[in-house]
Amino acid sequence: MFFSGRAATLKAMDATPVVRIGNASGFYGDRFAAMREMLSDGPLDVLTGDYLAELTMLILGRDRLGDQERGYARTFLRQLEECLGLAVERGVPIVSNAGGLNPAALAARLTELADRLGLRVRVARVEGDDLRTREFGGKGAVTANAYLGAQGIAACLRAGADIVVTGRVTDASLVAGPAAAHFGWSPDDHDALAGAITAGHIIECGAQATGGNYAFFTELQAEGRDLTRPGFPIAEISADGSSVITKHDGTGGAVTVGTVTAQLVYEVAGARYPNPDATVRLDTVRLIQEGPDRVRVSGVRGEAPPPDLKVGLTRMAGFRNDMALVLTGLDIEEKAALAERQIRTALHGREPRHLEFRLSRQGDPDAPTQEGASARLSIEARDSDPDAVGRAFSAAVVEAALASYPGFHATSPPKDARPDGAVFAAAEVPAGLVDHVAVLPDGTRVGIDPPAATRALAEVAEPPLPDALPSGPTRRAPLGLIAGARSGDKGSDANVGVWVRTDEEWRWLVHTLTTAEFQRLLPETAPLPVTRHVFANLRALNFVVAGLLGDGTGGGTRSDPQAKALGEWLRGRCMDIPEVLLP
């Protein structure tokens, strides 16, 4: 492969009809052993690792504020202390965005590590995404990073890099870059690039493609699938951009049309899925179960990418604090009202800018356990002044302990104020204004030109719908008996992908789960703009809920700030479902 100590060369790799790209990380904090498992459990041509979520950029930004030599995912460096020798032995190059806000520092640490281990390793990096030096995002921005594409990664691999670390690239670029290097695609090979981007989107979140976080996990378990430790996914990509999603033989989890569909509809919007190298037409994707743990992805059409790059911005929004009180037995709402009135009175004249009381988990007073008979009152305070949400706030809660409702107790002791970060990603910048640079193993800096052809992003009209399912007897039942869902965040917006598995279920779902019905089922979304998108090939709908997450992952006030369980809430809601569709 690429490693300098191996006899194989990039040219020889280009001769193979398929490039086998695995992923060993879906976020900063994913299973530490996954890198070793992926290198040990079966053959690979390239190993990738995705460490950057929107919230991660804020975390790395805070790290860098304390030490300018930080700002990268230190877990990646620790993993390579264990696995670099194995990667060299197997001849598997590694591509990762673990460089975060400081790919140059991580590249230097990797070179030092290789020298210490006595290994000859060529390290390259991709940079230019950091726009903070241009004061992009205004005063107070902790991070400002353009989402770069795959061409810088491809340039590094073509120059013989054994390890490529990047700053902020799109998650799918970690896969599209090696595929483009392997097959020699040009920047205008939009269909092939779109196919690789699709494969990258499927495997970017690790075990979410192999049975992790899967709506129908009980069915997999009933089939004898072990979900205790799912294997990580692999994309076998062909020269035309089509792929097979799989995993190493003998590892846990499962790769099915369902698990792949769940990931395909995760954190996307409409039928056009933009990336810096190509816009994927998600409405063209076709999935076939080719064999056990092998799903073929084909038919993907690509278009020229949009002229602008997305920019992820984070800023410090002040300080926050929170406490939770437990309310047990009778008069739950009255107890919550008394506690709120007492705390607000104690804070009179010192009340934080944002003070929210949320009552949840209504208990049953006649429950056989104390926990079952209890509810929770969550109290959150936010302000630009740390004193306003520090000990004064905590004291106002604690001082009510012997003068409030019967059974008063908290779930944690008083805490000090902590930094409050808000994540948002609403900015764009023309691609030509971003200095996308590949720094090759010998230190040569190669500028990556923006795409020559671009196409402004536009909504795709809803396709013709199939005939509705004939009317018949219905039964009140949870939607999740027939429909899967997966949900997540994009800045301040939430998205919920919903899919079914048969044509009959699809004929019912696409006509019944309208935007209005979605908002009825999830009342929190009713006052917000909600957009529905139809993916007929996948028998899937995608709903984008604008503004549900407030200031975003780092600064939202919802108990589920990344909307991870929004889809499961939807699946638990009851509808009048045709009996012919129900188990």
Q: Distances in Å between the alpha carbon of 243 and those of 11, 195, 204, 438, 547?
A: 21, 7, 14, 27, 35
Q: State the pLDDT at residue 7.
A: 34
Phi (first) and psi of residue 334, to 5 degrees: -65, -40
Strand residues in 445-529 grouped as ranges (E): 445-447, 474-478, 484-490, 493-499
Low-confidence ranges of the chain (pLDDT < 50): 1-12
What is residue 423's predicted lDDT score, i.e. its pLDDT?
64
Q: Could you report the per-residue pLDDT of 16-66, keeping only the tens digit for each? A: 799 999 999 999 999 999 999 999 999 999 999 999 988 899 889 888 887
In the prediction, which pLDDT does 135 show? 72
Contact 48, 57 (CB under 8 A): no
Domains of the chain in sequence order: 10-306 (no CATH), 317-420 (3.30.70), 474-581 (no CATH)
Residue 141: the pLDDT is 83
pLDDT tens per residue, range 351-379: 999 999 999 877 899 999 999 999 999 99
How many Å apart are CA 413 and CA 358, to the nearest integer?
Answer: 19
Three-state secondary-structure class, residue 229? coil
Backbone torsions φ then ψ of 89, nearest 5 degrees: -60, -40
Looking at the chain, the whole-number percentage of residues with pLDDT higher than 90 is 82
CA pair distance 378, 574, nearest whole angstrom: 27
Whole-structure pTM value: 0.92
Task: Count Cβ atoms below 10 Å from residue 366 Cβ, excluding itself.
Answer: 9
pLDDT tens-place string over residues 108-124: 999 999 999 999 999 99
**Per-residue confidence (pLDDT) for residue 556, from 0 to 100:** 60
Going by C-alpha positions, the residue among 531, 509, 503 that lies closest to residue 575 is 509
**Predicted pLDDT at 110:** 98
pLDDT value at residue 59: 87
Task: List Cα–Cα distances, 79 to 7, 85, 86, 114, 296, in angstroms.
Answer: 25, 11, 11, 13, 31
